[in-house]
C-alpha cells in the first residue's frame, strides 16, 4: 500500500493547481483522476477530425490566476473579436467595444439597440467596477435583475443584448446571479480579450498537468476513488480495481459532491450543440446572439473563424449554446440557427450535443468570494464553488486548499 503526504482527488484545474503548489513545497503528492484524461469540465475531444470542447469555453487572459500560473503564449490563444453580433427582425447589428473602437460609437447608437439614456445607465452600473474591482464589493449585493432596475437599465440594450449574452456566460436566463459577481465578470471582459487555445480548451489542463509533474506531483488517470476512510494518522483511500493508498491529508477537487457534509451552491447547466459545415455562413468571428429572443439559443459562434485548428482543412465548426433545463430539439436548433446566420442549415452535420448539468455553481447574492476549504478532519475541498464560478476561481481555490494543507501539516 502506497503512502503519501497528500492525495488530491480530481485532476481538474483546481486539483492540478493544488498538487503543483504542494509539490513545489516539497510534499509527496499524487492526483487520482477517474477519467482517462485530465481537465474535468475543461476537456477537448476529437470527433471526426473536429476539436469539440465539453461545451463552449473561452479563456480570458486578463484573469490574475492565468497571468500568474499559465503560459498563455504556449497555448497559442486564438482570440475572439471584442464585439457581438445581434440578430434583429430585419438585419444583423454588430456592436463593438466602445473604448477599444471609439469610432464605432455612432454606428452603435444608430443601431436602435443603444439609447443614450440606456448607455448612461450601463455606465453607472459597470464603470466603477471596471475602474476598480473593489467597487463590486462595496454596498449591498443583490440580484442582477434588481441591480439593473435600480440603475435604470432598460430597453433593447438590456433585453436584446445583455440578457441573452450573459445568460450564456452565467447559465442563468433569469438574472438571478449576484450583481457583484457579474460586475467583476464584466470587468474581466472589459480589460481582457478572451479566446480559445489552438488545440482546444483541454490544452489548459494539459499544460497545468505538465507543470505539476515537473514539480514532482504524480498524476494517475483511470483511478476512480470509491471510498475515503479515516485512520489514526490520516486517510485510507480506496480505488476501484486497484490497491488502496493512504495519506496524511486528502483534497477533494471533484466538483459539486452532494455526499460531502458541507453547504454547496446549486449547479447551473448549459447545453451545447456542435455542427460541421462545408461552408461558413459568415466571415464574422464574433459571438452572435438572437436579439429577438426567439428560441432556446443564447449564443452561437463559428469557431473556425477564430480557431481554424478546430476543424479539418476546408471544414467549419459552429456551436450553439442553450441554458438548461432545455427542451430544445435538433429541428428547433437548426431552424433558429438558420435565422441567426441567414443560411440553410439542413446540410449541416450534427457532431455532438453536450448536456452539462453541472456547468457552473450558482453565484447567488450576497457574493461569497472565499468559502472554507477545510473540512476539519484532515480533508480539504477545492473547486470554483469555493471562490468564483470561473477558471480564475478554480485555480485560486486549488491554491488556497494547498496553502491550508501546508499550514496544517506544518503543525
Task: Provide the residue-wise pLDDT of the chain in tens; the chain has 411 residues.
Answer: 689 999 999 999 999 999 999 999 999 999 999 999 999 999 999 999 999 999 999 999 999 999 999 999 999 999 999 999 999 999 999 998 766 666 677 777 778 888 888 889 999 999 999 889 888 888 899 999 999 999 999 999 999 999 999 999 999 999 999 999 999 999 998 889 999 999 999 999 999 999 999 999 999 999 999 999 999 889 999 999 999 999 999 999 998 776 677 878 999 999 999 999 999 999 999 999 999 999 999 999 999 999 999 999 999 999 999 999 999 999 999 999 999 999 999 999 999 999 999 999 999 999 998 999 999 999 999 999 999 999 999 999 999 999 999 999 998
Whether residue 38 lies inside any domain: the answer is yes
CATH classification at residue 19: 3.50.50.60
Per-residue model confidence (pLDDT) at position 125: 95
> Could you tell me which of 213, 198, 199, 171 has the C-alpha nearest to residue 11?
213
Whether residue 325 lies inside any domain: the answer is no
Per-residue model confidence (pLDDT) at position 27: 98
Per-residue model confidence (pLDDT) at position 373: 96
Model pTM score: 0.95
Whether residue 111 lies inside any domain: the answer is no
Per-residue model confidence (pLDDT) at position 243: 94
Contact at 8 Å (CB) between 67 and 61?
Answer: yes
Per-residue model confidence (pLDDT) at position 114: 85
Strands 234-239 and 225-231: antiparallel
Under the phi-then-psi rule, with left for phi > 0, alpha for psi from -120 to 50, and beta for the rest, what region is 68? alpha
Per-residue model confidence (pLDDT) at position 256: 73
**Rounded to an integer, what distance in angstroms lies between the CA atom of residue 296 and that of residue 290?**
9
Per-residue model confidence (pLDDT) at position 140: 92
Please say whether the dihedral angle defined by the alpha carbons of residues 210, 214, 217 and 223, taken in this order, is positive or negative.
Answer: positive
Whether residue 130 lies inside any domain: the answer is no
Per-residue model confidence (pLDDT) at position 107: 73
Per-residue model confidence (pLDDT) at position 229: 92
Per-residue model confidence (pLDDT) at position 50: 98
Radius of gyration of the chain measured on its C-alpha atoms? 22
Residues of the domain holding 235: 2-43+202-265+367-410
**Rounded to an integer, what distance in angstroms lies between the CA atom of residue 55 and that of residue 42?**
9
Backbone torsions φ then ψ of 120, nearest 5 degrees: -65, -40
Per-residue model confidence (pLDDT) at position 399: 98
Whether residue 18 lies inside any domain: the answer is yes
Whether residue 391 lies inside any domain: the answer is yes
Whether residue 183 lies inside any domain: the answer is no
Under the phi-then-psi rule, with left for phi > 0, alpha for psi from -120 to 50, and beta for the rest, what region is 376? left
User: Which cell numbers in the block locate residue 272?
Assistant: 451545447
Whether residue 33 lies inside any domain: the answer is yes
Under the phi-then-psi rule, with left for phi > 0, alpha for psi from -120 to 50, and beta for the rest, what region is 72? alpha
**Residue in this structure with the C-alpha cell 473602437, named with its chain if needed:** 101
**Rounded to an integer, what distance in angstroms lies between the CA atom of residue 115 and that of residue 112?**
7
Please say whether the dihedral angle defined by the alpha carbons of residues 369, 42, 227 and 234, taken in this order, is positive or negative.
Answer: negative
106 Cβ neighbours under 8 A, 6+ residues apart: none
Backbone torsions φ then ψ of 197, nearest 5 degrees: -60, 145
> Could you tell me which of 16, 22, 44, 29 has the C-alpha nearest to residue 207?
16
Strands 234-239 and 349-361: unpaired
Q: How many domains does the chain have?
A: 1
Amino acid at each position: 500500500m502506497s503512502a503519501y503526504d497528500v492525495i488530491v482527488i480530481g485532476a481538474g484545474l483546481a486539483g492540478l493547481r493544488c498538487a503543483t503548489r504542494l509539490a513545489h513545497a516539497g510534499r509527496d503528492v499524487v492526483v487520482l483522476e477517474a477519467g482517462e484524461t485530465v481537465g474535468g469540465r475543461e476537456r477537448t475531444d476529437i470527433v471526426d477530425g473536429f476539436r469539440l470542447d465539453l461545451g463552449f469555453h473561452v479563456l480570458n487572459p486578463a484573469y490574475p490566476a492565468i497571468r500568474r500560473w499559465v503560459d498563455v503564449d504556449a497555448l497559442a490563444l486564438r482570440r475572439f473579436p471584442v464585439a457581438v453580433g445581434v440578430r434583429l427582425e430585419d438585419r444583423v447589428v454588430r456592436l463593438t467595444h466602445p473604448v477599444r473602437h471609439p469610432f464605432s460609437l455612432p454606428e452603435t447608437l444608430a443601431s436602435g439597440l443603444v439609447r443614450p439614456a440606456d448607455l448612461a445607465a450601463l455606465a453607472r452600473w459597470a464603470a466603477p467596477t471596471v475602474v476598480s474591482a473593489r467597487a463590486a464589493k462595496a454596498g449591498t449585493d443583490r440580484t442582477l435583475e434588481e441591480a439593473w432596475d435600480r440603475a435604470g437599465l432598460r430597453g433593447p440594450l438590456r433585453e436584446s443584448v445583455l440578457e441573452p449574452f450573459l445568460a450564456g456566460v452565467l447559465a442563468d436566463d433569469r438574472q438571478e446571479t449576484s450583481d457583484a459577481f457579474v460586475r467583476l465578470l464584466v470587468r474581466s471582459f472589459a480589460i481582457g480579450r478572451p479566446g480559445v487555445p489552438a488545440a482546444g480548451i483541454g490544452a489548459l489542463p494539459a499544460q497545468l498537468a505538465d507543470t505539476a509533474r515537473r514539480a514532482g506531483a504524480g498524476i494517475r488517470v483511470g483511478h476512480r476513488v470509491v471510498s475515503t476512510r479515516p485512520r489514526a494518522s490520516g486517510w485510507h483511500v480506496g480505488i476501484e480495481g486497484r490497491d488502496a493508498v493512504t495519506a496524511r491529508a486528502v483534497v477533494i477537487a471533484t466538483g459539486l459532491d452532494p455526499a460531502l457534509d458541507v453547504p454547496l451552491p446549486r449547479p447551473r447547466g448549459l447545453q451545447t450543440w456542435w455542427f460541421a459545415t462545408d461552408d461558413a455562413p459568415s466571415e464574422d468571428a464574433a459571438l452572435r446572439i438572437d436579439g429577438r429572443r426567439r428560441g432556446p439559443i443564447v449564443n452561437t459562434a463559428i469557431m473556425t473563424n477564430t480557431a481554424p485548428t478546430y476543424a479539418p482543412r476546408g471544414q467549419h465548426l459552429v456551436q450553439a449554446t442553450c441554458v438548461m433545463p432545455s427542451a430544445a430539439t435538433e429541428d428547433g436548433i437548426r431552424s433558429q440557427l438558420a435565422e441567426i446566420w441567414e443560411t440553410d442549415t439542413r446540410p449541416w452535420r450534427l457532431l455532438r450535443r453536450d448536456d452539462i448539468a453541472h456547468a457552473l455553481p450558482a453565484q447567488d447574492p450576497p457574493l461569497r468570494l472565499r468559502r472554507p476549504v477545510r473540512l476539519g478532519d484532515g480533508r480539504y475541498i477545492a473547486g470554483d464553488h469555493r471562490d468564483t464560478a470561473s477558471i480564475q476561481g478554480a485555480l485560486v481555490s486549488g491554491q488556497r486548499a494547498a496553502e491550508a494543507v501546508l499550514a496544517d501539516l506544518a503543525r
